[in-house]
A and B are shown apart, each in its own frame.
Chain A
Amino acid sequence: MPPIRDVMPAFELFQPASVGDALGVLDRHGADAWVMAGGMDTFDWLKDRIKRPKVVVDLGMVEELRGIKDAAGGLEIGAMTTLTTVAHNPLVKERFPLLAEAALIVASPQIRNQGTVGGNVSQDARCWYYRAGWPCYRAGGNICYADTPTAINREHAIFNADRCVAVNPSDTAPALIALDAEFVIKRGSAERVVPAREFFVGPGIDITRLTVLQPGDLLTAIRIPATWAGKAHYFEKVRDRQVWDFALVNIAASLNMSGTTISDARMVVNGVAAEPYRLDAVEAAIKGKPRDKATADLAADLAVQGAVPLQHNAYKIPLVKALVKRAIRGEAEWATS
């Protein structure tokens, strides 16, 4: 127990004013560098002294990373655009209300004013053993403290746990996957574009990270194609407290309707696995079906196949089922349940 936590430890601070400068600093310092966007995740790590980077690269001065612009009927959102801006932007609200709703429900107004969309998708796991500095798998050790017989794990994973049972806590990540977004990552002079789903990684691939970002990488923008603009959508977040709280489970869905049947769908839940959990089987099964109770029941059962609860999180299974039903039936499920 550190006796004092409220003062920043020493580190070398860079505040580049351009993407080029930022990439240069990241390239020079490699694994020693910590990329900081709004700081909402970073400050906890640094003040608790659990992570001790030598170099912090603060992107706050890089204006070119902020802003939302039209891109062929879709949108390109700078990684440093604040969640408040995303939530209230007229283009986002008009084309992708799913993302606007997800951004508007993150944490609290103060955190949304400071926190960015790039930071929200890149934030680290909230597992409290990990955050408290226990030497777990995710921290480079060889045990998962959240998966022991006496562990406290009501917030943890029900899907795809592989040694580590931490979950991805982001609210915007499932929305972006459900909109087929792409993430633009720069490194030195190179640029690569990664589908949103592939941006996130589970412990089977890399147990120490939640995303593909490696030292030297910079997430610069998120592109959302026009595909799902104006389509039906559903977002819901279940949490203990109605503000300033992470999701126990959230769900993001895009539904393309032809008449009364679903012609295509994306459905993603978060808070249940180390990466946002896309419900492929559900998406396939509901194609060509109406948004009715039978479809909802079918989807709910499919959604939780393969779920393995821990001691204290079995409630997440009926919760996921309930949210999938609601996503399919929309407001109707509220009225009839």
Chain B
Amino acid sequence: MGRAVGTSVRRMDGDDKVTGAAKYVDDLSFPDMLFGATIRSTISCGEIVNTHIGLPPEFVVADHRDIPGANHVALIDPDQPCLAEGPIRHYAEPVLLVAHADRRALFGVEARIRFDYRERTPNYDPERSDTCFKQIAIDKGDLARGFGDADTVIEGEYRTGHQEQLYIEPNGVIAVPGDGQITVYGSLQCPYYVHKALVVVTGLAPARVRVVQAETGGGFGGKEEYPSMLACHAAILAIKSGRPVKMIYDRVEDLLATTKRHPSVVRHRTGVTRDGRMTAMDIDVVMDGGGYATLSAVVLSRGVIHAAGPYRCDHLRIRGRAMMTNTPPNGAFRGFGAPQTQFAIEAHIDRMAGALGLDPLRLREINALRPGDTTATGQTLGKDASALPVLREAVKRSGYKQKRRAWQGTNRGIGLSLFFHGSGFTGAGEVKLASKASLELTATGARILVASTEIGQGTRTMLAQIVADAMALPYSSIEVHAADTDAVPDSGPTVASRTCMIVGKLLERCARDLRRKLGKLTPAEYFTRHGAVVVTAQYEPPPGQVWDDQRYAGDAYGSYAWGCNVVELEVDPVTFEITPTHVTAVAEIGRAIHPVMAEGQIQGGTAQGIGYALLEEVVMRDGRMANAQLTNYIIPTPMDAPLIDVAMIERPYAHGPFGAKGVGEMPIDGPAPAVVNALRHCGFDVRAIPATPERLMAGKLKVEELAVESFS
């Protein structure tokens, strides 16, 4: 045991990807294949009253009347049509589908289709919306008493903008029809989500629908829900034409039409004693859901649960709302609500420290959650609660205290953020999912059967490491079956930092089970005598895990990963250009199954967080993304990313495979507030991101005035 886990074995998918042998969806082709395109609304709010189509008959055209089943994209609420029937809630809403055998024939096809609209006044402001997708209330203790115990109350409002996932491979699928069934190949994270959506739209029995993941060039959450929509579109065209249909978005369409991170407004009112103890937290979270509900309810849920940050406070009230606006729907993105709310609390902590005359580090040390403390939802933390260990390690590694003093009053700044991230689905989510994973004995070892996808993060490699060690077999003897719904059980979606902790644990159980079956035999001997054997494990919650969905209280997650970022930066005193020079990223993740890949997740998430803080701005004009090109929506290049010093701390979680927790999302929670706190150290009051130079210039002029009330 212990030969593969904890070592950075060779990536299972590495050679094929590096040599170009790996087949992405646009590399696949089928006989008689058509190419599909989507015709979208050009208004943000109103109805289509007439449609004029001037296309010759060799074009296949489909609208909502061609949908054999029900016209909605199956997710949480059935509110989003697969193809608009009349009402339009946002720009770029899909209305018609067109296919042709010659891809070039689709050029300019939209100019030959015209819609007559009855327009209505759109609303782009989530705080003025009269449609709420989801409200959540968390209450703990007695808020009035908490404020009564405070010496001062400090308020603040914090805003974050949209962010695009910017996977390198745009969305794409191929639907292949045949004999009362349909198969969809695609670039996607969650094969069974797509399967469920196709069953609804095609009206076919589940057994007649098959979804196969092609190699996928990144997702970051952006391929959690949108591929369901795209797969349905291709399927509608394939069913109508009787031919395979390929649909691949280009970058512009992908940016204009698909989901982004929810913009947020978070307001804090915090009661605090003179010596820095937080006695009451009153937090209001508003998220902009866009035109349809998609996953807003669960993004909001994770957002509000993380809104108090990794701090203890006996009396708190958190209110969250996800509101409809007439913009393309927002959806899943690495972090899933937590980056927004933890940006707010972490920026707020530094402002409070300033008002109290305390060092922000000291304020965090006083209030950080310790083992045995309870979170906002009342979850009692186990021994692996690591807020203080990551904070102390980051402070030590970065030389924070010395630099904080030395750089005071200069154009160099240093700031930190402390954060945590729950692994797996929230609350009873994992119980409802009831994920299954299987392991099949082969003549040479074992084959993993899961629907958890490899999207660049290392799923196949990491799962094979767990199985190899649990079976005491070499890593090279473990195979991973393609994520094909005809061949693998539903191990749940590849989201929520759950693949390692939840699915990895299921496979560890399978592996131990299979090892018991083998007894003293080798896989080859057992296989010769008994043939193939498959073992399956289904999710069971750790003992004692309780969640009350009505009161939003209890054990929100099986475990949390913990992180601390220290960002060092320089501000050019005349151009206000910000140059991040160094980031210290300390993460407590239970156990690093594959240290190089785990560090890669932290490096990548940190760089993406730096982009969120400084560069990435989705400019919405009249409800559409005005900068839908990579020349105008900019993400950090290696020239913009600072050196990132990663340190991983391992405090094993009893119910994770070999002690592992989730690592994928947490790294993006911390960089943005650490950047803003470093800017505060340089004398800039920034409460909204991205912090562009011109905003900084404005922030420099106004000396911050804190809203401080005295209760004494």
Residues of chain A within 8 A of B107, CB atoms compared = 2, 4, 7, 9, 49
Taking the closest CB of chain A, its distance from the CB of B63, in whole angstroms, is 16
B143 at the interface (CB under 8 A from A): no
* Residues B601-660 near A (CB distance < 8 A): 615, 619, 621-622, 626-627, 629, 631-632, 634, 636-637, 639-640
Give A4 to B40 CA distance when docked, in angstroms. 13
Give A152 to B256 CA distance when docked, in angstroms. 17
B573 at the interface (CB under 8 A from A): yes
Taking the closest CB of chain A, its distance from the CB of B97, in whole angstroms, is 10
Given known contacts A242-B637, A318-B697, A337-B573, A4 and B626 CB-to-CB distance under 8 angstroms: no
Which partner residue on chain B sits nearest A313 by CB separation? Answer: B694
Give A151 to B627 CA distance when docked, in angstroms. 12
Residues of chain B within 8 A of A318, CB atoms compared = 574, 697
**Interface residues in B, total, Cβ within 8 A:** 41
**Could you tell me if A337 and B574 are in contact, using CB atoms closer than 8 angstroms?**
yes
**Could you tell me if A3 and B577 are in contact, using CB atoms closer than 8 angstroms?**
no
Residue in contact with A315 in the complex, picked from B573, B631, B639, B694, CB distance below 8 Å:
B694
Taking the closest CB of chain B, its distance from the CB of A170, in whole angstroms, is 15
Give A152 to B40 CA distance when docked, in angstroms. 23
Give A3 to B250 CA distance when docked, in angstroms. 8
A11 at the interface (CB under 8 A from B): no
Taking the closest CB of chain B, its distance from the CB of A25, in whole angstroms, is 26
Which partner residue on chain A sits nearest B170 by CB separation? Answer: A6
Residues of chain A within 8 A of B693, CB atoms compared = 238, 315
Residue in contact with B575 in the complex, picked from A1, A9, A126, A322, CB distance below 8 Å:
A322
A32 at the interface (CB under 8 A from B): no
**Could you tell me if B574 and A326 are in contact, using CB atoms closer than 8 angstroms?**
yes
Taking the closest CB of chain A, its distance from the CB of B698, in whole angstroms, is 8
Taking the closest CB of chain A, its distance from the CB of B271, in whole angstroms, is 38
Give A238 to B579 CA distance when docked, in angstroms. 12
B38 at the interface (CB under 8 A from A): yes
B92 at the interface (CB under 8 A from A): yes
B707 at the interface (CB under 8 A from A): no
Interface flags, A1-19, vs B, CB<8A=1, else 0: 1111111010000000000
Residues of chain B within 8 A of A4, CB atoms compared = 37, 103, 106-107, 250
Residues of chain B within 8 A of A238, CB atoms compared = 575, 577, 693
Interface flags, A226-238, vs B, CB<8A=1, else 0: 0000000000001
Chain A interface, >50% SS class: loop
B104 at the interface (CB under 8 A from A): yes
Give A18 to B104 CA distance when docked, in angstroms. 33
Given known contacts A3-B37, A3-B110, A241-B615, A152 and B575 CB-to-CB distance under 8 angstroms: no
Residues of chain A within 8 A of B619, CB atoms compared = 152
Residues of chain B within 8 A of A333, CB atoms compared = 574
**Could you tell me if B574 and A322 are in contact, using CB atoms closer than 8 angstroms?**
yes
Identify the 9 closest CB pairs spanning chains A and B, nearest first: A322-B574, A315-B694, A3-B37, A242-B639, A243-B639, A337-B573, A241-B634, A243-B637, A238-B575
Q: A2-B110, A128-B627, A242-B639 are in contact. List 10 more A-B contacts (CB 8 A).
A: A1-B110, A3-B37, A3-B98, A4-B106, A4-B250, A7-B103, A238-B577, A241-B639, A242-B637, A337-B574
- 11 A-B pairs with CB atoms under 8 Å apart are A1-B256, A3-B38, A3-B109, A4-B106, A7-B103, A151-B621, A238-B575, A238-B577, A240-B634, A322-B574, A333-B574
- Residues on B facing A (Cβ under 8 Å): 37-40, 42, 92, 98, 103-104, 106-110, 250, 252-253, 256, 573-577, 615, 619, 621-622, 626-627, 629, 631-632, 634, 636-637, 639-640, 692-694, 697
